[in-house]
A = this chain, B = another copy of it.
Amino acid sequence: MTARTESPDGVGSECAAVSQRIGVAARACGVTTRTLRYWQEIGLLLPSGMSEGGERLYGDEDVKRAARIKELQELLGFSLSEIRVVLETEDILDRVRSAYRADMRPARQLELLSEAIEANDTLLARLDDTLARVRAFRRERAQKADRLRARVAELESEMARGRRRAK
């Protein structure tokens, strides 16, 4: 849909990084090659191509997806199976859209969509909950910061008094 591999203009060599080998892709999204292979192993991120030599080739979208996976992991502590659900929900829209090739009955499409909607709403609810809790937590810590600094000021003025008296 985005860019073809064919290099539409004849210039060549300008096709950008539409298809990178695993090492480059890994560095691009901040994980190891082992991780990318593992994600493939469990069906979480399939490289969109293979070289004839049998090497994995990752497109830009793959790299984006990898980065997204990593973010969900680190940001919210999602497990890979949770992430799988999120991403599958994401994929559904694309699949339904590209079901222009309407070999899929509209009824079936609706089914898929309502599934995706439910999953998405569940996720949204979870995100809202998370937001609320993190905000509460943040407030707490901000207050604690205030108290800490107040205590520091108190101590410092105390020490200053001590010094003045000792003089």
Contacts and interface: CB of A to CB of B under 8 A. Distances in A.
Interface stretch (A3-11, A59-67, A74-82): A74-82
Nearest to A117: B148
A33 interface: no
A106 to B, nearest CB: 5
A144 B93 contact: yes
Interface residues of A, number: 47
Contacts of A90: 144
Given A120-B141, A130-B134, A135-B131, A113 B77 contact: no
Interface stretch (A18-26, A34-42, A43-51, A154-162): A154-162
A117 B145 contact: yes
Contacts of A127: 134, 137-138, 141
B78 A151 contact: no
Contacts of A133: 71, 75
A15 interface: no
A96 B151 contact: yes
B155 A141 contact: no
Nearest to A71: B133
Given A120-B144, A127-B137, 10 more contacts: A75-B130, A75-B134, A76-B77, A107-B159, A110-B156, A113-B155, A117-B149, A124-B142, A128-B138, A130-B134
| 9 shortest interchain CB distances as A-B pairs | A77-B77, A127-B138, A117-B148, A113-B152, A120-B145, A75-B133, A106-B159, A106-B155, A124-B141
